[in-house]
Structure 1
Amino acid sequence: MPNSEEPQTVFQEILGFKEERSAFASGRVATMTRGANFWSRFLSHEWSSAALYLFLDVVSWLAIYRVAGWFRYDAFYATPFQFFVINLIQLCVIVAALYLVGGYDRTVEKLTLGYAAEHILAVTAAGLVSAMLIYSAATFDQTMKPSRGVLLQYLVASSVGRSFLVIGGGATAAHFYEAYKKSANGQQLEFVDVNEEHVGQPIAGEGSPIVQGNLASKLDDLSNRYSGIVLAERASSLNTQLLERLVHAQFQETRVYTLESFYETQWRYLPLGIIDPFWPLQTGFQLARTSPYHYLKRLFDVVASATALVICSPLFILVPFLIWIKDGAPVLFRQERVGRDGRHFILLKFRTMRCRTHHPDEDIYTREGDPRVTRVGRWLRKLRVDELPQLWNALKGDISLIGPRAEWSKCAERYEQSIPFYHFRHLVKPGITGWAQVNYPYGESDEDAVEKLNYDLYYIRHYSLKLDAMIVLKTLYTMLFGKGR
């Protein structure tokens, strides 16, 4: 007899399954309804689209950076904190740029060619600004390495055991060797004499590299042995065959440097020994009276100095008061300086030293621990606050914010008589801060004046927005970390 309870049980199970499915479907619909209500309420707010765009930007940026980090093996950062700070800086710059073009404004039409152009320009500008910030941070924090720096470390590692081949064995090559020893370059130098007059002799006395011969064989093995060739001989002393071989090496094998290009590329200054009276007539100078950057820089000087005078106005009350309380009057220091084209003007600074006696034997240099510097003046110099009155000179046009230091007319007359080509530094308007000031300590001698002139000549040769930006970053670092004197 068939079991009548079995169909009934199956029917009940089917009915229970349908009820469960119906309950699940009802719960799912309720959940979807609540979700839809949440999104509808969220999207009803004015700020909802901005928040959504911002969230997508952050997620996209982190994803891009994660992929980039994978390709460079996370070699950029020394600590997770650096990762956080760098990403935060870049995100802030990009978000600010997109905000300025209406990227987070729901009323701005995004699907237009005009907005697309603005978006591209904003992201490009943000990339340039953030790159400048990151590379400037890496300049002063040696634990950080920009992505190209990561590539460089592999290139440097691959160059271990290589050296620079210096063609020359005379006084010029010896002077280059002495300068190279004082630099941070770690690669060795090999010297070879073109005419083999100095073969077997040390280049600069005992303990220095021995000058070698057989230049032809060395030029045949450039790719594996040398990182570059430095030409420490005049081109007129080289035969045609050798010059052709060097040109071939420059374009196909390794970099060939003249002394000038090596100093500029590796050390960013120009030694007087390779300068001649026709140096300003060479091609490649970006400095010209008709240069658009010349007028742009003047506009920047006016706007920036006027703005800085307003922002720093409390200091123009506080600092003179401190000087007057501690050291009495006068609070301002006035001195005749030499500007562009040799024009004289009166430069203003906050007084940091006791008043000069104008005695003929008085030291014209301010030295380390100079007793003439007052207690307040020592701090003003350290923080570069004593330079603030020069903003008025910049506003008037006597000086620029960036340029070679304006020298005291008495010192300038002395230098022009003793230092060759010193007058070249008057081709540009002097500045409150400059390439020499941020790369060389405070001058205390005629020798220091020569070294600083090397950097001033480099600035004149490479006068540009990029170099001025580098000077600004280094100046800010000096002010923030009290590196002045």
Structure 2
Amino acid sequence: MFHIRIFNHYIPFQYVVLTLVEYWVLVLAVYCAHLLRFPNEAVSVLSFDDPTALKTSLYAVVMLCCTLALGVYEAKIREGFSGVAVRSIVAFFLLGCGSLTILYYIFPSLQLGRGLLTLAVIISLALCLLVRAVFFLLVDSSQLRRRILIWGNGAKALEVIKDIKQSGKSHNLEVVGVVGAQESMHPELDPELLLNIPVSLVEFCKHKKIDEIVVSLDERRRDRGGNLPLDELIDCKLSGVDVMNALEFCEREIGRIELSNLDPSWMLFSDGFKYSGARDVSKRVFDILISLVLILLAWPFMLLTALAVYLEDGAPVLYKQTRVGHKDKLFDLYKFRSMRTDAEKNGAVWAKQNDDRVTRVGAFIRNTRLDELPQIYNVLKGDMSFVGPRPERPEFVKDLKEQVPFYGERHRVKPGLMGWAQLKYPYGASVEDAAQKLRYDLYYTKNHSLLLDILILIQTVEVVLLGKGVR
């Protein structure tokens, strides 16, 4: 699958096309609904002079955001087309109509009208499901799969194959084989994938229609036993075959940075890990605006949550805990208390599944993320950002820095109320989980931008509604 890079974040080109097509399908749906509702009234959704144009654009953008928020496109990978259909119905009728109702209350001049809106949503759902069915049929076609050849002789090559399978990318990527690995060294590797090339690498790539070669060697230097065929790989590049190292391949395709392939020199010279004053200012303005909007919308829920915590388990309602922030600076993080007051009488411990220290109200506010709302104060204060790696406790950070390579690099950006790792990996409660989540935190640290923050903010809706990653 081809990608385009926008503000350092990789987006599959096919999904960009699908988004544009669906935008115009949604516009068409409003136009069709208007014709059915008012057959004798002329309207142009394409004319900027017609007030319907702005209303239609707002409708289309809101519906697209709600579709993204409920993970409709990723649902095809996890749940099949039935998952896409169910999520689309929820996105259009519940989340979409609910969001539009709030916007229409604030900006009544942008309202489509109740009868017109209902008809437009029904037509939109039918047309979008048809478009998505055709799209997924085309994307799943073997003719459109990107054919990958892996050049590697060690565990790193095997890791790339596992990453492709576990991430669900196998529907648009096809691993043709691995060159350089030995079955005796990796018995878990499918023998059919082990290749010996009797001809030149260029000829082999032409014959097998290879689109990309992923270099995943434990050692590249010949004086240390490496077998990187530099001349042949350059010939392949000149003949139109893309050549990429495993680190950048996983970053592009999966949205994470593999620790096993990471070295300090790559972090220093790669395209990323850069300072931008404009980005920092825009991020701070974004944090303040979103925080103020959330306070206006969430204050009734905050009062009810505080009351529920107090009625069940008494005071204190809020829980203050020291966390490690930007550049290892310590700060006090605030949450609604979800555990018993004596939860840590024996010291700091990882939370676990079905933790018996969690109260009944605590379980509910954890599942709905209501316990996190007091952290809006941390965002306004500047200790945290709205989006960033989740902050950990200093007791855990000390051990994690000793056991997990590059763990301290996640502190080069402000911690966040929500993060890329929370979208991509379930709740972590061990050193191994922390290492897995670090791969996604490093991706964010390297590539963070306002666009990526907005995408994470929208996609977090699915996490909150479905209670993902909660213990």
Report the TM-score when normalising by structure 2.
0.70
Q: Is the CA contact 2:343–2:357 (under 8 Å) kept in the aligned structure 1?
A: no
Post-superposition offset of 1:297: 1.0
SS in 1 for 2:408: helix
1:273 corresponds to: 260
- Report the AA paired with residue 232 of structure 2: L
Does residue 462 of structure 2 align to residue 477 of structure 1? yes
Instruction: Provide closer, same or farther for how the CA distance between residues 157 and 481 of structure 1 changes in structure 2, counting only shifts above 3 A.
Output: same
- Mapped partners of 1:205, 1:271: distance in 2: 20
User: Helix, strand or coil for the counterpart of 1:372?
Assistant: coil
Q: Is the counterpart of residue 380 in structure 1 residue 365 in structure 2?
A: yes
Match in the other structure for 1:220: 203
Match of 1:442 in 2: 427
Q: TM-score, normalised by structure 1?
A: 0.68
1:188 Cα shift? 4.0
1:327 corresponding residue in structure 2: 313
What letter matches 2:197 in structure 1? N
| Cα distance in 2 for residues equivalent to 1:208 and 1:180 | 18
SS in structure 1 of the partner of residue 141 of structure 2: helix
Alignment-mate amino acid for residue 219 of structure 1: V
Q: Which residue of 1 aligns with 2:51?
A: 104
1:357-436, aligned counterparts within 5 Å?
358-360=344-346, 364-436=349-421
Match of 1:245 among 235, 239, 256: 235
Verify the 8 A CA contact 1:382 1:482 in the aligned structure 2. Answer: yes
Assess, with a 3 A threshold, how the Cα gap between structure 1 residues 310 and 363 changes in structure 2: closer, same or farther: same
Q: Distance in 2 between matches of 1:86 and 1:416?
A: 54
Shift in CA distance, 284/320, structure 1 to aligned 2, threshold 3 Å: same
Shift of 1:414: 1.4
Moved more, 133-142 or 442-451: 133-142
Which of 307, 322, 327 does residue 336 from structure 1 map onto? 322
Evaluate the alpha carbon distance shift between residue 434 and residue 357 of structure 1 in structure 2; reply closer, same or farther with a 3 A threshold.
closer
What amino acid sits opposite 1:87 in the alignment? A
Query: Residue type matched to 2:169 in 1?
Result: N
Change (3 A) 1:285 1:206: closer
What 5-or-longer segments of structure 1 have no aligned partner? 1-71, 78-82, 106-118
For residue 256 of structure 1, the aligned residue among 231, 234, 243 is 243
Deviation at 1:189, TM superposition (A): 4.7
Q: Is the 8 A contact 1:169 1:211 kept in 2?
A: no
Structure 1 residue 446: deviation in Å? 0.7
Shift of 1:288: 1.2
Question: CA deviation digits over 1:396-447, x for unaligned, max 9?
Answer: 0000111110111111111111111101001100100000011111112111
**Could you tell me which amino acid in structure 1 is paired with residue 216 of structure 2?**
A
- Give the alignment partner of residue 139 of structure 1, picking from 64, 73, 86: 73
The gaps in structure 2 that reach 5 residues or longer are 1-17, 35-42, 85-127
Count of aligned pairs: 382
Q: CA deviation at 1:261?
A: 1.9
Structure 1 residues 102 and 177: CA distance shift in structure 2, 3 A:
closer
Structure 2 SS opposite 1:479: helix
Q: Give the match's secondary structure for 1:278.
A: helix
C-alpha RMSD of matched pairs (Å): 3.9
SS at match of 1:407: coil
Q: Which has the larger radius of gyration?
A: 1
Over 3 Å counting, the alpha-carbon distance change for 1:156 and 1:200 in structure 2 is same
How many Å separate the matches in 2 of 1:164 and 1:258? 12
Q: Is the 8 A contact 2:161 2:175 kept in 1?
A: no
* 1:175 aligned onto 2:159: yes
Bigger relative contact order, structure 1 or 2 (CA pairs below 8 A, ≥6 apart): 2
Q: Does 1:231 align with 2:208?
A: no
Match of residue 353 from structure 1: 339
